[in-house]
A and B are shown apart, each in its own frame.
Chain A
């Protein structure tokens, strides 16, 4: 029997720092909710709005797989491995922090707001050599399709990470129905609605709602509105 947990958008943690307006699906920084610590190895899902030219100065990370998906605008990234890049909507960035890496992230545009999802997964191996990657995605390939954008395999579609996790993005016509098969036994799926309204396993979800489903091998999906856009995060439920 499948189990689920529903996180409505308006129940997320919220921190407005002026230049940064952040919503946290799970406990983060000063937002602490013992019932919202993680979904399997998915530890952080932050929905950040960053004012033009503003951002996070150089700061360190370790032992975490960090995935950044810009939803609107562009982010300028610089890190201690020598990478310097601008990542925009339609692209994905991944960083394996491993033994330690420092980076800065700023809104690359002075006059446009940046909206990004920052996602942290616990790694399946500690103290790996830090690495960085980014990829431009074929946005058309996610029309009425869950397009894989991340996996554990370097030779598979999308970027890869040190975890048995698969991410998929889809954008759907109203009324489109499909099933998503979970990639690995023991994994669950956390669905995050970027836009529109969808129904997953009978639960109606609106913009920025999250639904975690586990103890199953598939989920049912239906788009209720024409602009429905969803990120699926297929992750191990057991912490390593």
Chain B
């Protein structure tokens, strides 16, 4: 079964890399966006298993995002993604799931 992972970042270059990395594994389906509104819309229309918060999201935006996302799906797992690449990604996702 595929795990659907939503990545929300601000840096378009990192978002592109994350899209490639998440979709490189058959067990993961990655959706990567830079816009909070787009992330909310995707969460409303897709069965998201895990949300990764990437770079550049300030504290106020993160608080609002978490509230909006868990408002859609109470038990949604939301974690911080560090590093911006493949180094920590697998461990972060395995730990969260």
Residues of chain A whose beta carbon lies under 8 Å from any beta carbon of chain B: 27-30, 32, 34, 37, 43-44, 59-64, 97-100, 102, 120, 122, 127
Q: How many residues of B contact A (CB 8 A)?
A: 23
Residues of B contacting A59 with CB < 8 Å? 17, 85
Interface string of B29-58 (1 = CB under 8 A from A): 000000000000000000000000011111
Q: Which residue of A lies closest to B94 (CB)?
A: A32
Q: Establish whether residues A100 and B58, one from each chain, have CB atoms under 8 Å apart when the complex forms.
A: no
Interface residues of B (CB under 8 A from A): 9-11, 13-14, 17, 54-58, 80, 82-88, 90-91, 94-95
- Whether B83 contacts A120 by the Cβ 8 Å rule is yes
**A62 — which chain B residues lie within 8 A by C-beta?**
9, 11, 14, 54-56, 82-84
CA A46 – CA B42 in complex, angstroms? 37
Report B-chain residues with C-beta under 8 Å of the C-beta of A44.
87-88
Q: A27-B88, A32-B90, A60-B13 are in contact. List 18 more A-B contacts (CB 8 A).
A: A27-B91, A29-B86, A29-B90, A32-B91, A44-B87, A59-B17, A59-B85, A61-B84, A62-B9, A62-B55, A62-B56, A62-B82, A63-B83, A102-B13, A120-B88, A122-B82, A127-B56, A127-B57
Contacts of B88 in A (CB 8 A): 27-28, 43-44, 120
Contacts A61-B83, A62-B11, A120-B83; is A99 near B90 (CB within 8 Å)? Answer: no
Known contacts A99-B10, A100-B11, A100-B14: does B87 contact A28 (CB below 8 Å)?
yes
CB-based contact A100/B90 at 8 Å: no
- Chain B residues within 8 Å of A97, by CB: 55, 83-84
A231 to B39 CA separation, bound complex (whole angstroms):
43
A100 touches B85 (CB 8 A): no
Contacts of B55 in A (CB 8 A): 62-63, 97-100, 127
